[in-house]
A and B are shown apart, each in its own frame.
Chain A
Amino acid sequence: MDEKTKFGLFEYDVKNGLGLIAYNVDEHEHAHIIVDTKKCGDCDSMMCVWGCPAQCYMFRDVGLEEMKFQYEDCVECGTCFLMCTDGALSWNHPRGGFGITYAYG
């Protein structure tokens, strides 16, 4: 039979994409998402990593041994909260006036 057509693999330059967005980043003590990364250790699906559209979660996908989370680039979509099955995540909106500021939307 005919060969499967190759369309290929694609990588989005997400850092460049995020660079287009304006943020007003809040201080660390007011981070709107708190991840208890101790609970992430033996998570094999790492769905937050794959779901997050802003690469806020980095783990074995980039060769790290431990989950590394940063809230600064967060686009406040709420995906990670739905993805986490280990109860490692506490999710809230950033404080008023902080976080992402879309110019187009």
Chain B
Amino acid sequence: MSEEADFDVIIIGCGMAGMACAAQLLKEGVEGDRILVVDRGEPIGAKNLSGGILWGRELDDLEDIFPNWEMDNPGIERYINHKKIGFLSSEDAFIMEGKFASWDGIGGTEEPSMRTGWSVLRAKTDSWFAEKLEEAGVFIMPGIKIDQLHIDGLDHTSYSARDLTSPAEDSGRGDNQKWKIDNADPEIVNAIREGKICGIVQDGEVMTSNVVVIAEGSNSILTRSYAFDTMLHAQSRHGIILGVKEVIHLGEDVINSRFGCFSGDDERPPSGMAMEAALAIYDDMAEKAWEEYPVTAGQVPRAGGWLYTNRDTVSIGVVIQLDSLPSGIHTYDMLEAYKSHPAIAPLISGGESVEYGAHLVPEYGLDRMPSRLVRDGAVVIGDAAGLVYSNGAVIQGQNYSIHSGKLAAKVIAKCIESGDYSKKSLGQYRKDLDSSYVMRDLKRFKTTAKFLADDANYTWVPKFMGKMFNRVVREIGEEKITVEKQARKLRKEMRRKDKKTKKGMGLLNLIRLGLMGRKL
């Protein structure tokens, strides 16, 4: 390189992925003043929202940069030792509950003793992480939105990012929106897609770096614009989930007694509970919607609900698969229905809402991940790369983000040593990611997305679970029958109700679901 770049690394986005990448770079010996982290939030964290539980011990090896993070980070609210998985229908709630001594992480258990998840409030966690990075010498610039990447030899005024991200005038309906690039000069288009990325452009000003790390999160405009993606599916709703959430203040004591939590000591934050549930509670809303808006008649919203305990608040919300939302149902009304369910309402009663928010979850799965994660001079990490996995019972995203950030940093540090920032050397990141548990999970469980997108899990399955449990445990003077017989009887009854359930609970469908469910 003829002249030295302003920075070795510029990281776009200070969320879990970006901050982990910066921290790992420091650990690899990269000087803090050679790293710039920009984020559009001011203060850092202002744009960040998660469910949210941070699962996994990904922060352990960043302890040098984030000392005592578990106790000192004000956004790490409670550690989770108590998990519930539920099936809610209009009539019933069937909720399984596990409380694990090994998750307390104080030893003396047969299972590995470690705290394994923490409820987090991201506005607070992320600003603390940024503070620590700053103390370690990293440049942090909040309130900066990046419009364009700087491409070697290309005048950034010859095109605008907006041109790249607005749908074409003549686009067809559906999933195959084409993208317009106003400036059709093929040389420029090729440079945008294939040129060497060597910095960022903000408000017309260029800042150069040897590597740009794109950690921009789920609305991955830069990732799409610069053709990391094939762009073909960029506007599809498929595989994208909307989380709608409220933070409700209940007070620490109420949470401790209501959810059976421990109030913490010198070594541990307070303990907490994480609950997720499949929801079949929208029958009435859907029916009314179908009547008013026949255009999506028959479409069932596929949604899950969650409730996580923070220190003195709870995070409660619903996740909605956007391709399943019928016309006639507002997403926020779905939150209200969940909050009003007889099994949920008592848990938040007397609480005061302190924040409302929403965020997309890019649960793309393998076939919709950006086709490239590496270009000359740039890598994509975290949510922008679509690194999210859920099977309903485990939900992984923030830990994948941290892991991808760390992997990228290790490769980048080597590239800085060798001075080679080509996609070939940076490509080691993709290889490392592929052999890490992140991509191995995503590959091994590739059928999960299909299972989770099956209407059954949001219609008859939760109903069946509730009714079965009810019948197995109740005593109303009827003759007892075996669980198997009860299941057969219930299936028969439910199938008689309507055509859809009849088909959904058909033998072939059950086998199909079973085969998918076996691979969760």
Contact = CB atoms under 8 A, between A and B. Distances in A.
A21 B355 contact: yes
B327 A45 contact: yes
B46 A87 contact: no
A54 B358 contact: yes
Contact of A11 (B165, B246, B336, B359): B336
Contact of B354 (A5, A11, A96, A104): A104
A55 to B, nearest CB: 7
A96 B329 contact: no
Given A21-B357, A76-B219, A12 B121 contact: no
Contacts of B230: none
B335 interface: yes
Contacts, number: 195
Given A6-B284, A104-B121, A99 B242 contact: no
A84 B171 CA distance: 11
Q: Which one of A50, A89, A95, A100 has the greatest number of beta carbons of chain B within 10 Å?
A: A50
B340 interface: yes
Contacts of B325: 47, 50-51
A43 B50 CA distance: 32
Interface residues of B, number: 82
B237 A10 contact: no
Given A7-B283, A89-B167, A47 B45 contact: no
Contact of B242 (A9, A10, A53, A86): A53
Contacts of A45: 293, 295-296, 327
A84 to B, nearest CB: 8
B288 interface: yes
B139 to A, nearest CB: 15
Given A75-B357, A102-B45, A104-B355, A82 B281 contact: no
Contact of B284 (A1, A7, A89, A102): A7
Interface string B202-231: 100000000000000011010000000000
A17 interface: yes
Q: Which one of A1, A12, A14 has the greatest number of beta carbons of chain B within 10 Å?
A: A12
A63 interface: no
A86 B173 contact: yes
B49 interface: yes
Contacts of A100: 46-47, 357
Contacts of B122: 102, 105
B41 A101 contact: yes
The range of chain A's interface size is: 35 or more
Q: Which one of A21, A76, A78, A90 has the greatest number of beta carbons of chain B within 10 Å?
A: A78
B469 to A, nearest CB: 16
B515 interface: no
Contacts of A89: 166-167
A105 B169 contact: no
B46 A102 contact: yes
A105 B293 contact: no
Contacts of A51: 242, 322, 325, 331
A67 interface: no
A82 B124 CA distance: 29
A81 interface: yes
Contacts of A92: 161-162, 165, 221
Contacts of A69: none
A65 interface: no
B19 to A, nearest CB: 14
Given A12-B335, A47-B325, A53-B244, A85 B174 contact: yes
Given A61-B330, A93-B40, 11 more contacts: A11-B333, A45-B295, A47-B327, A50-B330, A81-B219, A90-B162, A90-B166, A91-B221, A94-B145, A97-B42, A104-B124
18 contacts: A7-B283, A9-B333, A11-B336, A12-B336, A14-B332, A20-B354, A44-B293, A61-B330, A79-B358, A90-B165, A91-B166, A93-B145, A93-B221, A100-B47, A102-B47, A102-B48, A104-B121, A105-B75
Interface of A: 1, 4-12, 14, 16-18, 20-21, 44-47, 49-55, 61, 75-79, 81-87, 89-97, 99-105
3 smallest A-B Cβ distances: which pairs?
A17-B356, A7-B90, A105-B122
